[in-house]
Amino acid sequence: MNKVTITFSPSKKQVSVVQGTSILDAAREAGLHIQSVCGGDGVCGKCRVIIKKGKVESPPTGLLTPEEIDDGVVLACEAKVFNDISVEIPPESRADEGEILMGAQGPHKKFDLYSNVEELAPDIIHEARIMEHSPLSTKIFLKLPPPTLDDIISDLERIYRALHKLGVDHIQTGLANLKNIGGFLREHNWEVTVTLGKRNGTTELVQLEGGDTSKTNYGVAVDIGTTTVVTHLVDLVSEQTVCSMGAFNKQITYGDDIISRIIFASEKEGLEKLHMAVVDNINSLIQGCITDCCNKSKHIKLEDITCVLCAGNPTMTHLLLNIDPGYLRKEPYVPTTNEMPVIRAAEAGIKINHRGLLACAPGVSSYIGADITAGLLVSDLTEKPEVAMYIDMGTNGEIVLGNKDWLTCCACSVGPAFEGSGIRCGTRAIKGAIQKVKIPDPTKPAKAETIGDTAPNGICGSGLIELISEMLKAGIIDRAGKISLPKSAIRNSQSAIIREGSEGLEYVVVSADQSATGRDIILTQADIDHLIRSKAAVYAGMATLLKKINYTVKDVSRFYIAGGFGSHLDIAKAITIGLLPNAPLDRFSYIGNGSVEGARMILLSYIAMAKARQVADKMTYIELSTDNTFTEEFISAMFLPHTDLSLFAG
């Protein structure tokens, strides 16, 4: 087959591909990530690239303006390459740029892990106390008495006997250790360090090392988000995070949301590609952390990392372990398992110690996963008698209501609108993204602030919330979200603030001469309708949970907001448009990346893992897709802020 060479800028990466390959597929092969909300189906228009040299074959599309076509803009998923070309990926099309919420540094969050553990088995509590903070893997130095004619128990029993004296029971080991154990103990004069791992209800003797290496033991906590992957390299002895790194999830190029990826996984080799994408993410981040530590004169080797603890939504954990996620989106919506078994990390392709372990925090249902269970540990919601609500807003909206005695939860399909996807000029929180908006005069241009204080290239999620709030306040849109200025204020001129566009009326946030893209940054009526549907889904989910328990907003003592989008959310503006309920601002708290923080807690404490299981078991999941209450609440929330204004009075 004939091959052609594609040169991408600004990265200057080159890749050789078979003639007829799409630019999107070529970028994937080059390790570059172009936004592709629809997964390459040619309907989202987010994969715009510019042909700088050469020609491509691309079918006509209504997603590009005549001016863009004249400038060499094509959709990467549609454009097929038959000759050598040079392609520029503009900032707004790059899927691997933007803010990544890393989580806190230093010591992990402290709270009394031994409180409210009456339901936990006494032997779990006892063993965890014996093994101090009892991380997923623990190293213990043993000075064993050599065998004599008066003490002729086997070599393995000799190790077990020493561990039993320390309070460690239910121990097992594998054949690989048994084959070498006799010579190894004698070679090292009966002084060895054993690595013990918590594995599916037992303690496994993972490996033996000569001498005392008990002070060198590391683990990795991982948050596998739909958009980003974050790792914390943790010293399991000092409990300190020694390095944290994050990257955009490489699965993005196969679809922005989990449904797109589940569909892609059903295609030929799709599951393997998605699995390898996230494995490559994690391995690269782990290696990056090791390199960073070595550069700071803290020498850590892959073999020093003995365990990995992952948290993510059910789709992400299924893909991590190469498990078909297809049934998650098919009625009655059940996962293969809510609690993944502890396995060798190598089985999943994760590169750490060759016998190191990989575990996942427990999940609850097809759409309430380990990321939420982990985040609840961080919030302390399950430790207090007061009723509170945990809200994680991403491409899915996961909501938990309850306290230390009971928990109920639901997940609503929000879509990627709050991450800038599916919006004509939406973008992630990258440099140049509009994040703050003021409209002091509806007849004059808006005042926009961008991330990095540079020329704007799009509007990120927090900016979209502010823009809708300001447009409502200024009277540019009515409570139904319809652009409603008098006809006399609407002009067809390109310089108009409100004008007729290809999809009806549109509001010009930033004119072309002020933007980084050279195109007007606009908000269309279709965008507004999309955002209202998304906010209505979140609010309806919260309202449904409250109604099921016969509670109101006034009964909720605290609202915990989790996730990257939530960290930049203006709570007052979110209440103005009816995204969040009308409650005093001091009742809202930001959690940040609760998933990685909770994963780190579980990595460091077997009690935390047991409590996570307890929390998951306690949660009652409500399936909203077949719930009439949710449907009614969703329809009522399709106004700004709501159909019932009394809910937002005062």
Position 111 scores a pLDDT of 40
User: Is residue 34 included in any domain, yes or no?
Assistant: yes
Structural domain span for residue 195: 136-210
Q: For residue 455, what is the DSSP state?
A: -
Of 377, 223, 369, 222, which Cα lies nearest the Cα of 305?
A: 222
Radius of gyration of the chain (CA): 27
For residues 307 and 435, state if they share a domain: no
For residues 356 and 230, state if they share a domain: yes
Task: For residue 302, give every residue at least 6 positions away whose Cβ sits within 8 Å of its Cβ, in sequence order, or none.
Answer: 286, 287, 290, 351, 352, 353
d(CA 564, CA 543): 23
User: Is residue 591 included in any domain, yes or no?
Assistant: no
For residues 230 and 339, state if they share a domain: yes
Instruction: Please calculate the CA angle 368-310-175 and round it to the nearest 5 degrees.
Output: 125
For residue 528, which amino acid is it? I
Last residue of a domain, one of 525, 543, 571: 525
pTM of the model: 0.85
User: Is residue 539 included in any domain, yes or no?
Assistant: no
Q: In what order do the strands lie in the sheet with 447-450?
A: 447-450, 433-438, 458-459
> For the chain, how many structural domains are there in total?
4
For residues 202 and 267, state if they share a domain: no
For residues 252 and 306, state if they share a domain: yes
d(CA 623, CA 330): 13
For residues 241 and 293, state if they share a domain: yes
* 3-class DSSP state of 311: strand
For residues 201 and 266, state if they share a domain: no
User: Is residue 501 included in any domain, yes or no?
Assistant: yes
d(CA 253, CA 281): 13
Q: In what order do the strands lie in the sheet with 521-524?
A: 498-501, 504-510, 521-524
Residue 177: Cβ within 10 Å count = 18
Sort strands 588-592 and 521-524 into parallel, antiparallel or unpaired: unpaired
Last residue of a domain, one of 490, 507, 525: 525
Mean pLDDT by 10 residues, the chain (650 residues): 87 88 88 74 80 88 80 88 90 65 51 45 45 78 95 95 90 91 96 93 92 96 93 94 92 87 94 97 96 87 97 97 96 94 97 96 96 94 95 88 96 79 83 92 91 91 94 95 74 71 88 90 94 94 96 97 77 96 95 92 92 95 92 96 92
Q: Are 115 and 383 in contact (CB under 8 A)?
A: yes
Position 454 scores a pLDDT of 92
Domain at 71, CATH number: 3.10.20.30
Mutual angle of helices 606-618 and 370-379, in 10-degree steps: 110
* Residue showing tokens 């991450």: 419
| Encoded tokens for 281 | 């993410």
d(CA 314, CA 373): 11
Position 125 scores a pLDDT of 44
| Encoded tokens for 461 | 């999620």
For residues 279 and 322, state if they share a domain: yes
Residue 551: Cβ within 10 Å count = 14
For residues 51 and 145, state if they share a domain: no
| Encoded tokens for 190 | 């009966």
User: Is residue 352 included in any domain, yes or no?
Assistant: yes
User: Is residue 398 included in any domain, yes or no?
Assistant: no
For residues 224 and 140, state if they share a domain: no
Domain at 252, CATH number: 3.30.420.480
Task: For residue 47, give every residue at least 6 positions away whose Cβ sits within 8 Å of its Cβ, in sequence order, or none.
Answer: 24, 34, 35, 36, 40, 75, 76, 77, 93
Domain at 206, CATH number: 3.10.20.880
For residues 146 and 190, state if they share a domain: yes
Last residue of a domain, one of 35, 62, 93: 93
- The 10 Å CB-count burial string (b at 16+, else e) for 381-417 is bbeeeebbbbbbbbbbbbbbbbebeebbbbbbbbbbb
User: Is residue 551 included in any domain, yes or no?
Assistant: no
Position 563 scores a pLDDT of 78
For residues 279 and 225, state if they share a domain: yes
Position 106 scores a pLDDT of 47
Position 116 scores a pLDDT of 47
User: Is residue 326 included in any domain, yes or no?
Assistant: yes
First to last CA, the chain: 70
